[in-house]
């Protein structure tokens, strides 16, 4: 207990304030929400110096703690990054309002007019790791979708997040919207994340964003409904009927375009019919780009630098310059392998065969299937959604990149003239 009560009481009190704010947001028309988003963007620019000063303290503390440079890079802000965050907020204002969209509608035989309409989710909890840009992105998307948001970032970004959230709340106040629509859940007590994910009845949805460990913890311990995001063990399958030049481009792009992201390829499967021709080319091209290949016997036979596959490799999300590689006897063996080892994010097939593309698309069980395209395209912005709050790898509610509609729920509004049963 501190002066404000226990951490649990503080989290629940924040959630209750958020519910009240959410009731106001639900009745705020698009113009009011867009004006607020533009005010948020302007405020981020006006207060860039405060945000950068706070961020410098987080970065200095991270360096002192000996945190790796790649994490420090994710944590670091500069004027350009803050401007990009503000621009992203302005982009959300320009997107259509998902609230009020009629998903389906009909007139029933008894004259009742049935409409299924998108309505706000209510209160959304975000539990995320180092990147401070998630703070503003999530706040903007939730606001546009008519929901209040509770932001629980990591302690390593605490000062940056606090500065950004103060700016965002000030902007809400300036346009007359409830400041409690955007609230910070302090990260100084680790249990605050726990209380947020167990505030069933007060929080409608929790979205974890970060590494596999964070996501697993939230999925296992939350009693609030969760959307699981982002772990990607993506496969590229080169079919017997593949154009091998295309297969080479897609493999290299999927693996090396950006290695630290969830839509990068981590596994290569090659049909035996094209192995003799394709393997030497793909091995040379990957090795030239510094990729370590963890290969089966067929790969090992062709280069002394192939690392023998272990059981773990087939399930690994390397997020680096590594790839596991197999030769498979058939498309069905490729599908079976993917069903067994994939995290359900994105699988690509390279083939000229329509039948093979259809079998693959219906046979694997993942959020996205790329036919003759790089796995890197599974992305809200590439899909034209304009804003993305993460990529769902679960089957319930939302699967794949989540934009504004995925941040809403629906209600049935049935209009009659006195009908009874």
Binding stretches for a copy of itself (CB under 8 A): 23, 26-27, 106, 108-109, 112, 114, 116, 119, 121-122, 200, 204-205, 219-220, 223, 225, 227, 243, 246, 249-250, 252-254, 257, 339, 357, 359, 361-363, 365-374, 376-378, 382-384, 394-397, 399-401, 409-421
| Cβ-based nearer residue to a copy of itself, 190 or 421 | 421
> Are residues 300 and 327 in contact, defined by beta-carbon separation less than 8 angstroms?
no
Instruction: Give me the helices (H) in 65-121, please.
Output: 69-75, 79-94
The string of DSSP letters for 3-64 reads: TTB-HHHHHHHHHHHHHHHHHHHHT--HHHHHHHHHHHHHHHHHTHHHHHHHHHHHHHHHHH
CA 300/CA 298 separation, integer angstroms: 6
Q: How far does CA 371 lie from the centroid of its chain?
A: 22
Please report how close the Cβ of residue 112 comes to a copy of itself at its closest, in angstroms: 6
> Are residues 52 and 79 in contact, defined by beta-carbon separation less than 8 angstroms?
yes
| Cβ-based nearer residue to a copy of itself, 166 or 241 | 241
List phi, psi (to 5°) of 2.
Answer: -115, -165
Strand order in the sheet with 182-184: 182-184, 148-152, 123-128, 205-209
| Cβ-based nearer residue to a copy of itself, 162 or 347 | 347
Q: What is the dihedral of CA 259, 262, 137, 218, to 10 degrees?
A: -130
| Cβ-based nearer residue to a copy of itself, 53 or 110 | 110
Please report how close the Cβ of residue 375 comes to a copy of itself at its closest, in angstroms: 10
| Cβ-based nearer residue to a copy of itself, 325 or 350 | 350
Please report how close the Cβ of residue 241 comes to a copy of itself at its closest, in angstroms: 14
Please report how close the Cβ of residue 162 comes to a copy of itself at its closest, in angstroms: 29
Please report how close the Cβ of residue 315 comes to a copy of itself at its closest, in angstroms: 12
> Are residues 188 and 154 in contact, defined by beta-carbon separation less than 8 angstroms?
no
Please report how close the Cβ of residue 115 comes to a copy of itself at its closest, in angstroms: 9
Please report how close the Cβ of residue 116 comes to a copy of itself at its closest, in angstroms: 8
Burial class (CB in 10 A: 0-12, 13-18, 19+), 159: buried
CA 248/CA 234 separation, integer angstroms: 16
| Cβ-based nearer residue to a copy of itself, 13 or 373 | 373
| Cβ-based nearer residue to a copy of itself, 74 or 339 | 339
Please report how close the Cβ of residue 163 comes to a copy of itself at its closest, in angstroms: 32
| Cβ-based nearer residue to a copy of itself, 63 or 395 | 395
């Amino acid at each position: 207990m501190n002066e404000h009560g226990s951490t649990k009481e503080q989290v629940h009190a924040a959630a209750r304030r958020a519910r009240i704010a959410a009731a106001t947001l639900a009745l705020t028309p698009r113009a009011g929400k867009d004006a607020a988003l533009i005010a948020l963007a302007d405020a981020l620019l006006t207060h860039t110096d405060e945000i950068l000063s706070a961020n410098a303290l987080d970065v200095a503390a991270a360096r002192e703690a000996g945190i790796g440079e790649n994490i420090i890079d994710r944590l670091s802000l500069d004027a350009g990054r803050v401007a990009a965050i503000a621009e992203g907020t302005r982009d959300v204002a320009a997107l259509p309002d998902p609230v009020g969209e009629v998903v389906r509608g009909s007139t029933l035989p008894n004259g009742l007019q049935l409409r299924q309409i998108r309505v706000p989710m209510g209160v959304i909890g975000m539990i995320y790791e180092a990147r401070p840009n998630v703070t503003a992105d999530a706040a903007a998307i939730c606001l546009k979708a008519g929901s209040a948001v509770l932001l629980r970032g990591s302690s390593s970004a605490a000062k940056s997040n606090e500065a950004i959230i103060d700016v965002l709340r000030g902007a809400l106040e300036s346009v007359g919207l409830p400041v409690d629509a955007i609230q910070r859940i302090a990260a100084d007590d680790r249990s605050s994340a726990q209380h947020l994910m167990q505030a069933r009845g007060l929080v409608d949805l929790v979205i974890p964003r970060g590494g596999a460990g964070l996501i697993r913890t939230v999925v296992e311990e939350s009693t609030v409904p969760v959307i699981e995001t982002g772990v990607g063990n993506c496969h590229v399958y080169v079919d017997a009927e593949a154009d091998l030049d295309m297969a080479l481009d897609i493999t290299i792009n999927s693996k090396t375009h950006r290695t630290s992201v969830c839509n990068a390829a981590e596994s290569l499967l090659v049909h035996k019919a094209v192995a003799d021709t394709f393997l030497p080319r793909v091995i040379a091209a990957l090795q030239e780009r510094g990729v370590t290949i963890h290969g089966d016997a067929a790969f090992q036979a062709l280069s002394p630098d192939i690392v023998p596959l272990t059981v773990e490799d087939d399930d690994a999300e390397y997020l680096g310059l590594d790839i596991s590689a197999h030769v498979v006897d058939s498309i069905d063996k490729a599908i079976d392998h993917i069903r067994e080892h994939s995290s359900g994010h994105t699988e690509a097939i390279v083939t000229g065969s329509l039948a093979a593309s259809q079998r693959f698309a219906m046979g694997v069980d993942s959020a996205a299937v790329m036919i003759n395209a790089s796995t890197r395209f599974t992305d809200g912005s590439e899909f034209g959604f304009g804003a993305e709050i993460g990529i769902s790898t679960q089957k319930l509610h939302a699967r794949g990149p989540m934009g504004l509609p995925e941040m809403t729920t629906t209600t049935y509004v049935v209009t009659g003239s006195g009908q009874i049963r």
